[in-house]
């Protein structure tokens, strides 16, 4: 997980996305939000978005907004188009959609994290993308680190009680 010295690290806040090359590491922190990563294994290009909600209720603006799943993925797909690469050459991974409220965990209520995860899965299927892996749901939040030079995505879970673990997905 050590970052080479020449690599630039980008931190995504909710509603942001980034697309870059092998000299980039993208990092974010997710609760109920979801991130989609796309990685081109031959050209070492990739991107990540961090969306907050499945879709916008009323489209007041014509500008795409990365806060919404469909629009965030659309922004990444536009970057892929600009790069001149084929969408089918990318590997896709989904992360996040955690339950941030202990009461909902206990009662089994549907929460926004579940809706965000479902939106991500739907979009992957709708666009005919290859889902390489996912780490969705659960309780608490997770830190996600995407190394474009290798395609590895590291996830560190932090449950509401502060107990965590780290996985390479």
List the beta bridge partners of residue 27.
Answer: 11, 145
* CA proximity to 19, closest of 65, 82, 64, 86: 82
Which of 24, 30, 33, 38 is flagged as catalytic? 33
Tally Cβ neighbours within 10 Å of residue 130: 12
Write the CA distances from 17 to 64, 77, 102, integer angstroms. Answer: 12, 11, 29
The answer to whether the CB of 169 falls within 8 A of the CB of 133 is yes
- At 78 the three-state DSSP class reads helix
Whether residue 66 contacts residue 51, with contact meaning beta carbons closer than 8 Å, is answered with yes
Q: Is 49 a catalytic residue?
A: no
Assess contact for 155 and 135: CB atoms under 8 A.
Answer: yes
Q: Which residues are catalytic?
A: 33
């Amino acid at each position: 997980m050590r970052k080479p010295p020449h690599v630039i690290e980008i931190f995504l806040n909710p509603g942001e996305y980034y697309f870059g090359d092998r000299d980039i590491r993208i990092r974010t922190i997710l609760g109920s939000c979801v991130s989609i990563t796309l990685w081109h294994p031959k050209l070492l290009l990739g991107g990540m978005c961090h969306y907050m909600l499945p879709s916008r209720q009323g489209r007041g603006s014509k500008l795409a907004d990365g806060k919404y799943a469909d629009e965030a993925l659309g922004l990444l797909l536009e970057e892929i188009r600009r790069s001149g690469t084929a969408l089918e050459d990318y590997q896709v991974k989904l992360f996040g959609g955690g339950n941030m409220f202990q009461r909902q965990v206990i009662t089994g209520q549907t929460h926004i994290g579940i809706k965000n995860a479902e939106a991500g899965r739907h979009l992957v299927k709708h666009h005919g993308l290859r889902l390489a892996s996912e780490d969705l749901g659960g309780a608490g939040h997770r830190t996600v680190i995407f190394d474009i030079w290798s395609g590895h995505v590291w996830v560190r879970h932090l449950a509401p009680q502060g107990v965590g673990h780290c996985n390479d997905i």
